[in-house]
Amino acid sequence: MKYLWRLLPLGFILLLAGCGKQNLSALDPQGPVADIQFDLIKLSLYIMIFVIVVVFAIYLFVIIKYRERPGDTHIPKQVHGNKALEVVWTVIPIILLLFLAIPNVMQTFTLADVDVNEEEDDFVRVVVTAHQFWWEFEYPDYDVVAGQDMYIPTNTKIIIELEASDVIHSFWVPALAGKQDNVPGITNDMWLIAPQEGIYQGKCTELCGEGHWLMDFKVIAVDPDTFDTWASSMARTVDEEEEVNVVSAEGREVFEQNCISCHAISGEGGDLGPNLTNFGERSVIAGFLDWDENDENLENFIRYPTEKKPGNLMQPFPNLADDEMDALIDYLKSLKVLE
């Protein structure tokens, strides 16, 4: 639970720290989509437990009653079969399956329903692009691009469009919604709603290479006002930024020399790596790695990106001078949009 405490600086998280939830389990659904799915899981489980109980009962009865006893050499009657019984164990399973199949078909359509009324409905559209091995979240209606942390407003239908830049990945936030695949060349969609504020763990579930197992992300649900603040600060350009957030000019310079070709901040920079505009508010590095008290993990990650995240495509910077590194880290930590 140590790392939950480290979330404290993000003021709005305070509320959550209390409940100490992992928010990673499909068995503990936190939104309507996951609820639907959990209900179906339970329904299918109950039907299946019924089947198991019936089969096991007959099975135990038979092997106990008809076991060979010492000295028994009788030849059992050679029964051929029984038509009526065959019908029974054909029809009953069909009926049982219908109890599952019908709700399933209905819910399959419900979950595929991403239509919204552009004027009336309250919704946010997020384009999720998966890369080896990180996540990019674009909010086309807000002009915002974010990396690794997907901020969403609570109680709002989130329409998610899934894309991939290299191989197939899959977007899964167990506590909020089952997965859909990010397929190169194809755009898939899904929706979810988070009624409560919180941080929800997300994972890539399609084998996508060496770094697959570390391709984690977070969905962060905040109240709609906070979300609006977040989105508008994220959308600020560098020029506007200058006044708000000049902390480490030196660090900014190091960044511009080394990092900006791949990472963007406030609308300026490349897109080969995650956008870092709100990096100072991340709870983890690269989707999974704890920040250390003395920032060692961050420094290490920048110097040797594949050490903790094998397969990582970020270029290593082993020779950055110590003072440059310190300035860079100061700068990165200052990148906040919610304060």
Partner 1 sequence: MSYAKAQSKSAVWDWLTTVDHKKIGIMYLVAGAFFFALGGFEAILMRIQLMFPEASFLPAQTFNELLTMHGTTMIFLAAMPILFGLMNYIVPLQIGARDVAFPFLNSLGFWLFLFGGILLNLSWFFGGAPDAGWTAYVPLSSEYSGTGIDYYVLGLQISGAGTLIGGINFLVTIINMRAPGMSMMRMPLFTWSTFVASTLILFAFPALTIGLLLLMLERIFGATYFAVHAGGNVVIWQHLFWIFGHPEVYILILPAFGIFSEIISTFSKKRLFGYSAMVFATLLIGFLGFMVWAHHMFTVGMGPIANSIFAVATMAIAVPTGIKIFNWLFTMMGGRIQFTTANLFALGFIPSFVMGGVTGVMLATSAANYQFHDTYFVVAHFHYVIIGGVVLGIFGGAFYWWPRMFGYKLDEKLGKIFFWMFLFGFHLTFFVQHFLGLMGMPRRVASYLDGQGLNDMNFISTIGAFLMGVAFIIFVVNIFVSMKNRETSGDPWDGRTLEWTIPSPTPEYNFAQTPLVRDVDAYWHEKYEGDGKMKAAEPLGDIHMPNGSILPVIISIGLFISSFGFIYREHGVIWVAILGLAITFGAMFVRSIKEDHGYHIPVEEIKNDKGGK
Residue (240 or 290) nearer to partner 1, CB: 290
DSSP annotation of 173: E
How buried is 130 (Cβ within 10 angstroms: 0-12 exposed, 13-18 middle, 19+ buried)? buried
Is residue 53 within the footprint of partner 1 (CB under 8 A)? no
Asked if residue 178 binds partner 1 (CB under 8 A), the reply is yes
- Token readout for 232 is 């508008």
DSSP states of 71-126: T--PPPP-----HHHHHHHHHHHHHHHHHHHHHHHHHHHHHT-----TTTS-EEEE
CA dihedral defined by 160, 164, 169, 173, rounded to 10 degrees? -20
CA distances from 243 to 132, 148, 284 (A): 35, 26, 27
Can you tell me which of 10, 150, 159, 204 binds Cu ion, judged by CB under 5 A?
Answer: 204
Q: How far is the CB of 317 from partner 1 (least distance, A)?
A: 22
Considering Cα of 77, then 80, then 83, then 88, what sign does the dihedral take?
Answer: positive
Is 313 a residue that touches Cu ion (CB under 5 A)? no
* Site size toward partner 1, by CB under 8 A: 89
Instruction: Report the nearest approach of partner 1 to the CB of residue 42 (Å).
Output: 9
> Does 172 participate in binding partner 1 (rule CB under 8 A)?
yes
Question: Which range of residues in 37-45, 115-123, 141-149, 231-239 is near partner 1 by CB under 8 A?
Answer: 37-45
| By CB under 5 A, residue 215 contacts Cu ion | yes
Q: How far is the CB of 176 from Cu ion (least distance, A)?
A: 18
**Least distance (Å) from partner 1 to the CB of residue 269?**
24
Site residues (CB under 5 A) for Cu ion, limited to 149-178 = 169
One-letter amino acid of 62: V
Shortest distance (Å) from residue 203 CB to partner 1: 5
Q: Is 6 in the site for partner 1 (CB under 8 A)?
A: no
